[in-house]
Structure 1
Amino acid sequence: MTVSSADFLVSAIACSNGGAEIDFRNCISRAYYSVYHAALPVADAHFPDTNAALAMGTHERLSKRFLASPTRSAKGVGYVLENLKRARHRADYDLGDEVTGSDAAQAIADARAFAQRLSQCVPATAMSASAVSAQKT
């Protein structure tokens, strides 16, 4: 069975309905991975890794590829990736910090809006249908 970025968003939404803090934490994590997996094929096709020689993690490298672009829309994608990664890190590792339903709702809203941002980064004919439709859930 294959999984798409849309499946991560569906899982995030389901987690947000759980009502417990662990559900909100899982929601944020899944929302982040929905945008990460939607952005990766777009970056591979249209945004070369100019930081290949630098030591950094895969996730940081992805956001930097968008941030290195001169276009405002691509930079916006990079900022969303960074913000959701920061939220995911807090949700996954900062167990002493309270994560609320409003934190989860914000992550879902950001993930839902991400498809539009991502589609503005490249010509419409170049966007893969899966990357765009993945976030319309």
Structure 2
Amino acid sequence: MSVTPQDFLDLAIESSELADSEINYRNIISRSYYAIYSLGIDVSKCMGLPQFSDIGSHVALQEAFKTSLNRELKLLATRLRVAHTNRIVADYRLDTEITREFSTQVLTTNKKIFADLKNIQLQ
């Protein structure tokens, strides 16, 4: 794999250090979401979680976590849903203002989700 989930997170972090416009703030939210989404897919596959093909891939990952026997993944399902909603706002709700403070808050939360997924992956 030429690009890893960590690469997405690193880009979001680097972007946050230089961000000075709303488009940058939106990009931080989007890239940090794709970091956790990509890592979540890896974790899901490694754990042999069911794949839900009848719904969108982002919702399918949330459902896989929610229906998992792993308590930590069940808790992460809700956090992943919120992160996905934030990404939708950043990417598609162009009439909604995204501030530096909001993008920083989302990045901090997504970094925690990423770390939690990494811990689960290492178990």
The alignment's TM-score, normalised by the length of structure 1, stands at: 0.79
**Which residues of structure 1 form unaligned runs of 5+?**
125-137
Question: Which range moved further: 31-40 or 113-122?
Answer: 113-122
Once the two structures are TM-superposed, the CA of residue 41 in structure 1 deviates from its matched residue by 1.1
Deviation larger for 43-52 or 99-108: 43-52
Whether 2:78 is the aligned partner of 1:79: answer yes
User: Structure 1, residues 22-56: CA drift from partner, whole Å, max 9, x if none?
Assistant: 0000000000000011111110121522644xx21
CA 1:121–1:84 in 2, change beyond 3 Å: closer, same or farther?
same
Query: In 1, distance between residues paired with 2:15 and 2:93?
Result: 19
C-alpha deviation, 1:60, in angstroms: 0.7
Residue number in structure 2 paired with 1:68: 67
Report the RMSD for the aligned CA atoms in angstroms.
1.9
1:1-137 matches, within 5 Å, as: 2-16=2-16, 17-49=18-50, 51-52=52-53, 55-119=54-118, 121=120, 124=123
| CA-CA distance at 1:119 after TM superposition | 4.4
**d(CA) in 2 for partners of 1:42, 1:24:** 27
The share of aligned pairs that are identical, in percent, is 30
CA separation in 1, counterparts of 2:31 and 2:8?
Answer: 5
Structure showing the higher helix proportion among its residues: 2
Query: Number of residue pairs matched?
Result: 122
How far residue 121 of structure 1 moved from its aligned partner, in angstroms, is: 4.0
5+ long unaligned stretches in structure 2: none
TM-score of the pair, normalised by structure 2 = 0.87
Give the distance between the partners of 2:100 and 2:71, measured in 1 at CA: 30
